[in-house]
Amino acid sequence: TWTAANIADALVEQVQAQVGDGRAICGLSGGVDSAVAAALVQRAIGDRLTCVFVDHGLLRAGEREQVQQDFVAATGARLVTVDAVDKFLGDLDGVSDPETKRKIIGREFIRAFEGAVTEVLGEAEGTVDFLVQGTLYPDVVESGGGAGTANIKSHHNVGGLPEDLEFSLVEPLRLLFKDEVRAVGRELGLPEDIVGRQPFPGPGLAIRIVGAVTPDRLATLRQADAIVREELTAAGLDGQIWQCPVVLLADVRSVGVQGDGRTYGHPIVLRPVSSEDAMTADWTRVPYEVLERISTRVTNEVSEVNRVVLDVTSKPPGTIEWE
């Protein structure tokens, strides 16, 4: 019978059979899938798994702590954190084009990950053979089902790494859907904050700032996003909302009034959507009282933001993210 406990046990055994007494590496994104995959592999092979977390400075409030404290406390996993914030923000300086942002972030992410892998390889004397990935069944179907090895292309500025590192892939979630992954994660003792988490794009808050990314803008967006998440959760809407990007229109200013003074601040956009798979989506009918609370709190508490607007576009024609 299908129970989360049975599935978790079976997957742990499968991982043990595949990895034997080898070593594995897993990149943690802060998301559900990589966290559950890592927790399963940790249970299967213990300290022979090293998790790598790259902090690119584009995460939401509290996410780094969630990985470093909550994930580690729940699983006992060995974690290497790479602090690459200055590098990412330096390279993104002045860039507003969405695809250029994505390219820079993708490139730097691989570099940072490789740097960490090189270190782990050094410690493990070159015997890391497996790369863990949180691939789900819908991803398998979408990509035509091919599996096997992953190539991480090395860059010339990363020393000590072979030209092309080859790993065998460990994908323990390959046959599962998202809700099943969440159930397995709960079974493994991961906190609700991690297993119940909304999908979040790899390029993070960089693609939720329309305009160039700066530390100040990131701080503004992080603050607004935390308020929105808090209020949606408090209103019991997490089950209805697939995700709710909060977007900072950093190049737009509008006039407002606060107390005796005129303000000239930025709008944020709320983009709550309901969806099954992110391929199509409908805008979520968030109750007016909740919208009102969010609007009041954000404009009172976030000094740069003087207007809150709601995106009522379905997908298609709108995408979920604004960039």
Please tell me whether 29 is known to bind a ligand. Answer: yes
Residue matched to tokens 């950093």? 250
* The one among 16, 68, 214, 319 contacting ligand XMP by CB under 6 A: 319
Q: Sign of torsion, CA 130 134 140 142?
A: negative
Are 206 and 58 in contact, with CB atoms under 8 Å apart?
A: yes
User: How big is the site for ligand XMP, counted in residues (CB under 6 A)?
Assistant: 11
Calculate ∠ Cα 57-63-67, nearest 5°: 110
State the Cα–Cα distance between residues 35 and 316, nearest whole angstrom.
Answer: 30
Give the three-state DSSP class for 123: helix
Closest to ligand XMP by CB, 168 vs 313, is 313
Closest to ligand XMP by CB, 74 vs 173, is 173
State the Cα–Cα distance between residues 49 and 53, nearest whole angstrom.
Answer: 13
Q: Sign of torsion, CA 30 232 228 275?
A: positive
Please tell me whether 31 is known to bind a ligand. Answer: yes
* The one among 154, 243, 284, 295 contacting ligand XMP by CB under 6 A: 243
* The one among 64, 102, 186, 293 contacting ligand XMP by CB under 6 A: 102
Told to check if 321 binds ligand XMP by CB under 6 A, we report: yes
User: x/- string (CB under 6 A) for ligand XMP, residues 188-217?
Assistant: -----------x-xxx--------------
Told to check if 315 binds ligand XMP by CB under 6 A, we report: yes
- In the complex, the smallest distance separating the C-beta of residue 202 from ligand XMP, rounded to whole angstroms, is 3
Closest to ligand XMP by CB, 263 vs 319, is 319
27: buried, middle or exposed (CB in 10 Å: 19+, 13-18, 0-12)?
buried
Are 130 and 169 in contact, with CB atoms under 8 Å apart?
A: yes
Closest to ligand XMP by CB, 119 vs 311, is 311
State the Cα–Cα distance between residues 32 and 197, nearest whole angstrom.
Answer: 6
Closest to ligand XMP by CB, 135 vs 243, is 243
- In the complex, the smallest distance separating the C-beta of residue 105 from ligand XMP, rounded to whole angstroms, is 8
- In the complex, the smallest distance separating the C-beta of residue 60 from ligand XMP, rounded to whole angstroms, is 12
Distance of CA 262 to CAs 62, 74, 302, Å?
Answer: 33, 49, 16
Closest to ligand XMP by CB, 117 vs 247, is 247
Told to check if 267 binds ligand XMP by CB under 6 A, we report: no
Told to check if 278 binds ligand XMP by CB under 6 A, we report: yes
DSSP strand pairing (49-55 vs 23-28): parallel
State the Cα–Cα distance between residues 63 and 225, nearest whole angstrom.
Answer: 12
Binding interface with ligand XMP (CB under 6 A): 102, 199, 201-203, 243, 278, 315, 319-321
Binding site residue list for ATP? 29-35
Binding site residue list? 29-35
